[in-house]
A = this chain, B = another copy of it.
Amino acid sequence: MSNTQKNRISVDIFGTQYVILGTEGKDHIRHVASLVDNNMREISSKNPGLDVNKLAVLTAINAVNDYLKMKEELERLQTELQKEKEL
């Protein structure tokens, strides 16, 4: 059994309430939810005909894409840092 405290927080994303359970702080969870909400509203404003389901999937695609780009940048920096340390 883990003693890690789980936070239970209710957030509103694109008009629907979600209960998020996580070990992250409540402010962090709220921040993540607001980013998802903003991204869905942005995609929706550009594609008014999209249903919520597709909107959410496209938001997930954007987020994963951003994540992968960030990961590549991180790996590049790690290599650069390693080289600096060897100098």
A residues bordering B, Cβ < 8 Å? 13-14, 16, 18, 20, 24, 28, 31-33, 35-36, 39-40, 52-54, 56-61, 63-68, 70-71, 73-74, 77-78, 80-81, 84-85
Give the top 7 A-B pairs by smallest Cβ distance, nearest first: A56-B56, A63-B63, A60-B60, A84-B84, A59-B60, A67-B67, A70-B70
Chain B positions within 8 Å of A57 at CB level: 13-14, 16, 18, 36, 40, 56, 59
Given that A53-B52, A67-B66, A84-B81 are known contacts, is A61 also in contact with B74, CB under 8 Å in the complex? no
Chain B positions within 8 Å of A64 at CB level: 32, 35-36, 39, 63
